Amino acid sequence: MAVHGVHPDVGEGMTAMENPAAPVPTPPRTPAPGPAPAAAGSAQGTVRRLIVYTILFALVTIAAIGIAGLLERLLRLGDRLVVVDDTGLALSLAFALIGGPLAAVLWWAVWRRLREESERTSLAWGLYLAAMYTVSLIVAATALLNTATAGVEGRWLPDGFAVGVVWAGVWIWHRWMWRHPVKRPVRLGTVPAVAGSVYGLIIGVGGAVNALGSLFDTAIRGASAQAIAGSPWWRSAIEALIWAAVGGLMWWWHWYRDGTKRLNTGLAAVALVVVGVMGAGILMLGGIGTALFVGLRLAFDPSDASSEILRPLGTALAAVLVGAVVWIHHRRIAAERSDDTRRASALVMSAVGLAAAASGIGVVLNATLAALVGPLAASDTRTLLLGGISALVVGGPVWWLSWKPTRRVEPTEIAYTGRRVYLIAVFGVSAVVALIALLVVGFRLFEYFLDPVSGASLIDRVRAPLGLLVATALVFGYHFAVWRHDRAVIAAHGLAPERRIGRVILVAAGDAEALERAVRDATGASVTVWQRAVTEPGALTEAAPAALSDAAAVVGALEGVSAKRVLVIAGPGDRVEVVPLAE
């Protein structure tokens, strides 16, 4: 008996259950339908979500702009100096009264649909929430902080206050959705925490440097040097302190309360290394170099007034203090993370020191050539020379301590992918800069020989690009030689890249956070979790133990596997399947 509209395999199963003694019917000869409808539905769903969330983002932004405009007008009602702007009022009304309801209706439809697991695990939902969370946080914090600092100066900014209040509401709304126990995004779910901590750290560090710099500058140069147009010296310090306090609170909340400090995702590691280690290191070393430059000028180039020479010293000392605190904190965390993160933090500091040292070499050569065509006591030449010496003195030791060129490097470290990428990036960038500098030198030479009687001398024309050319050529030559030596060692020892797997796609049911962390720590690869669809009541219960308690079996199954992408299916039960994927 044929069962219309049912897959042949399903029909056989139903017949066997209804009558176990019945013979198994012969499958029809017509080919079974392939997976095209499912793939088409998945593609349609992806496009639908992309369009819906893009429209929702635009509508929320439009509604926020309109409401902020109306609130600003309410705050300005008592101001007689305000010029009536009917066009602006009409725009605000249109944005608020049309865009607002449309955004509410669309959000309600999206929110109800998020009951489905496929919606919560979609990339579009996580991307929308991360983008709107970050944008609303930045806009609200910036507007409210500008209003607060203007209040210290005795000015009232109703437009900034209105924008800050409205976008703060948008941020609170999206934070509630992000922290929702059921409908929060599965993919990109940690991006808001990372973005909030990075933004808070940036404005907090900037405010702290400005506040301490103002205090140090007042202590070094006196309050009279700080006063500008009758402004007291403490006003700028209080304004910067407000930014520092709010940024520090924002960073602390996302870093500790939201758990950014404990995240082991790729984005969290990049933010830790790039912002916490490299950014703070640049700030600290820049402050040290500036302070050293001021000291050298006071000792060897007192051509300007002492107050002018000491002008950047206060900010430099503040940068050293704040940058050192931030750098030590994040450097210690990076050292406790995976081996890749620890090595990456050392490599970025090596790059910072190398850039400073190479710049110092170029500037010193530039100043030396300038001394050949002018008096050595010339103020500009001497200042240039002292600046180059400061950069070289600061950058050289940092590069030496981070790179350690004299130590014996183990073959396993030579095969480390990050080291090879660092070498290629350094000699590649230096080669490009050297090529540009060479072209400039050639242009200056041809310009001089074609018209030697006009303009400066030949040395004055080529000294700046020639100094840059020599410095970058030295950097290129050294790192290219190291790279070739590493290649020879890898070939001689038959070493494979340390990271044999580039990306792991993990299919699991339930809470797979522990398994995800174990796979990432063992392989060093980026891990993407795909939640298994639950089609039967007992499916989740059966598959959960493999995802939660049998991490060692999954990690063991990945031993010896080498592929750019690997599919890992954990469960049901103790089943673990590893499938290397073709590139």
Tell me which H or E stretch contains 368: helix 339-373
- Half-sphere CA count of 385, side-chain side, radius 13 A: 14
- Token pair 């806009």 is found at 139
Residues linked to residue 529 through DSSP beta bridges, in sequence order: 506
- Write the CB contacts of 484 (distance below 8 Å, at least 6 apart in sequence): none
Per-residue confidence band for 5, with pLDDT thresholds at 50, 70 and 90: very low
Instruction: Say if residue 539's pLDDT is above 60.
Output: no
Tens of pLDDT along 372-405? 776 544 567 888 899 999 999 999 999 999 999 8
Give the neighbor-by-neighbor strand order of the sheet with 526-531. Answer: 526-531, 501-508, 563-570, 576-581
Contacts of 192 (CB under 8 A, 6+ apart): 129, 130, 133, 134, 175, 178, 258
CB-based contact 402:506 (threshold 8 Å)? no
- Give the 3-state secondary structure of residue 504: strand
What does DSSP say about strands 501-508 and 563-570: parallel, antiparallel, or unpaired?
Answer: parallel
Which residues partner with 505 through β-bridges? Answer: 528, 567
pLDDT digits (tens, 9 = 90+) for 97-134: 999 999 999 999 999 999 888 888 888 999 999 999 99
Looking only at the bridges linking them, the beta strands covering 576-581 and 563-570 are antiparallel
Average pLDDT value for residue range 244-261: 93
**Residue, of 217 and 285, whose pLDDT is higher:** 285
φ, ψ for residue 543, nearest 5 deg: -90, -20
Q: Burial-class residue 503 by CB neighbours within 10 Å (0-12, 13-18, 19+).
A: middle
Q: Tens digit of pLDDT for each residue in 39-94?
A: 444 678 888 889 999 999 999 999 999 999 999 988 887 665 455 567 888 999 99
Q: b vs e for 203-240, b when ≥16 Cβ sit within 10 Å of the residue's Cβ? A: bbbbbbbbbbbbbbbbebbeeeebeeeeeebebbbebb
| pLDDT computed for residue 353 by the predictor | 94
Residues 6+ apart with CB under 8 A from 255: 197, 200, 201, 261
pLDDT band at 304 (very low <50, low <70, confident <90, very high): confident
pLDDT for res 309: 86
Q: Return the percentage of the chain with pLDDT > 90, whole number.
A: 44
Contact status, residue 512 vs residue 504, Cβ threshold 8 Å: no
pLDDT of res. 373:
73
Confidence of residue 332 (pLDDT cuts 50, 70, 90): very high
Query: Stretch 208-223: mean pLDDT, rounded?
Result: 86
- Give the pLDDT score at 561: 73
pLDDT tens, position by position, 344-382:
999 999 999 999 999 999 999 998 888 877 654 456 788
Here the tokens at position 10 are 């399903």
**Given this model, what pLDDT does residue 540 score?**
41
The alpha carbons of the chain give a radius of gyration, in whole angstroms, of 31
24 Cβ partners below 8 Å, 6+ apart?
12, 15, 16
Distances (CA, A) of 231 to 156, 223, 228, 238, 242: 17, 10, 5, 12, 18
pLDDT of residue 232: 74
The CB-side HSE value for 207 (13 A sphere, CA atoms) comes to 24
In contact, 356 and 394? CB cutoff 8 Å: yes
Q: Can you list the alpha helix ranges (DSSP code H) found in 76-222?
A: 86-94, 100-113, 117-120, 123-152, 158-178, 191-221
pLDDT band of residue 511 (cuts 50, 70, 90) is low
Conformation bin of residue 443: beta by default, left when phi > 0, alpha when psi is -120 to 50: alpha
Tell me, what DSSP letter sits at residue 551? H
Contacts of 117 (CB under 8 A, 6+ apart): 531, 533, 534
- Higher-confidence position of 556 and 91: 91
Assess contact for 273 and 348: CB atoms under 8 A. Answer: yes
Mean pLDDT of 495-520: 70
Q: Is the pLDDT of residue 518 over 90?
A: no
Angle CA 454–460–464, to nearest 5:
135
Sign of the C-alpha dihedral computed for residues 247, 249, 251 and 254 taken in this order: negative
Its pTM stands at 0.77
- Average pLDDT in the 4-18 region? 39
Burial of residue 43, with CB atoms counted within 10 A of its CB: 0-12 exposed, 13-18 middle, 19 or more buried: exposed
